[in-house]
Structure 1
Amino acid sequence: MKYIQYGNNPSQIYARSFKSSYDNHEVPVGCVFVLDDKIIGSGRNRTNETLNGTRHAEFEAIDLILSSGEYTSEVFKRCVLYVTVEPCVMCTYALRQLGIKRVVYGCANERFGGAGSVFDIHQDPKLKLHPAYTCEGGYYREEAILLLRKFYVRENENAPIPKRKHQRILKTEIAPMKNN
């Protein structure tokens, strides 16, 4: 597997996979897994493309890493995940099962968030079988919010009954981040 050096800033690769989702008419979520200052895998949402609701960016990257043959699931215990949007409940629990070290995300997922916005799956003490992990939000938050808004303003050609959105306006003002 080819490693991508990034120093302390994975933002270019992160932004590329994020924008790739948008360009492919997917909800714009992208992620990178980082091990010892090297990106070992990246992913973007592919739920529309694959017609599979589980093909979130995190699962795409996890599958890429594991299918490379270089790593076992043990590698995730030493990785940091950078993802544009707070992981959903499904992804948060999968990351906990893998023993992820840390997650850094852009904006909160106020509908399905599993890492603090709706549920606290990442650190729920009742889930003793798998270790808790830390999550930090706000990494390129404004960019994540704006790209999500751009996605939801445009027409979704994949919707079962497309809704005309010609009246919608892109809001560019972003409220300050809430302190928990």
Structure 2
Amino acid sequence: SPCCSRDSQESSLTPLAKDALDNTEVPVGCLMVYNNEVVGKGRNEVNQTKNATRHAEMVAIDQALDWCRRRGKSPSDVFEHTVLYVTVEPCIMCAAALRLMRIPLVVYGCQNERFGGCGSVLDIASADLPSTGKPFQFWKTFYFEFSQLNIESKVEETEHLKKILCSKVRLVFSVKSLRGNILAFVSH
């Protein structure tokens, strides 16, 4: 389907996120846009499918791969010219998948302080991973009310997560404002 402007792309995300929320999912929606055409869209389907990998980005990637197959296009050629719009910063898993697919630009609405792979927890685009070409850029450009948490609950959640993780692995933290950025995981 044709996609005219970034505003229309961003406004198209709200119904996807709402649909996820209405289906007891984390309210995340995303679009993959190639040459002003939506080639993939997704919302979280983790609970519905009982598959922890069915994040909105992974659903959209699968749709984009199907779009490429139906049109006889090379996925690598398409993905290298595709922009991903998503309501929330992709998690580390999704950010790594986007990097491996060589998506050049990810535009997200708000940070993901618990699992963010675009800088909130770990910056996958600049992390030391096997070389996949140029890292993607990311822009924080729009916000949704349902994704905003008060700062006290963010600090409490971060502290709780640190306690859980510290019991399993030794973590090296660099304090940045009110939260710690995970710099390295070292297994015991």
State the TM-score, normalized to the length of structure 1: 0.74
| Root mean square deviation of aligned Cα | 1.8
Deviation at 1:128, TM superposition (A): 4.6
Describe the shift of the 1:117–1:26 C-alpha distance in structure 2 as closer, same or farther (beyond 3 A).
same
Q: For residue 63 of structure 1, give the secondary structure of its aligned residue in structure 2.
A: helix
The AA in structure 1 aligned to 2:58 is F
Q: Which has the higher contact order (CA 8 A, sep 6+)?
A: 1
Contact 1:29 1:45 in 2 (8 A): yes
- Of residues 82, 86, 97, the one that matches 1:83 is 86
For residue 131 of structure 2, what is the aligned residue in structure 1? 129
Partner letter of residue 58 of structure 1?
Answer: E
Q: How much identity, in percent, do the aligned residues show?
A: 43
Aligned to 2:33, the other structure's residue is in SS state strand
Q: How does 1:6-155 map to 2 (within 5 A)?
A: 6-9=4-7, 10-68=9-67, 69=69, 70=71, 71-74=73-76, 75-124=78-127, 126-131=128-133, 132-137=135-140, 139-146=141-148
In the alignment, which residue of structure 2 is the partner of 1:164? none
Q: Deviations over 1:21-53 (max 9, x none)?
A: 111110000000111222211100000000000
Q: Deviations over 1:75-112 (max 9, x none)?
A: 11101100011000100000000000100001101111
Q: Deviations over 1:115-141 (max 9, x none)?
A: 1000011122x225113111112x321
Q: Secondary structure at the match of 1:40?
A: strand
Superposition TM-score, scaled by structure 2 size: 0.71
Distance 1:66 1:99 in 2: 13
Which residue number corresponds to residue 170 of structure 2?
none
Report the CA distance shift for 1:34/1:47 in structure 2 as closer, same or farther (over 3 A): same
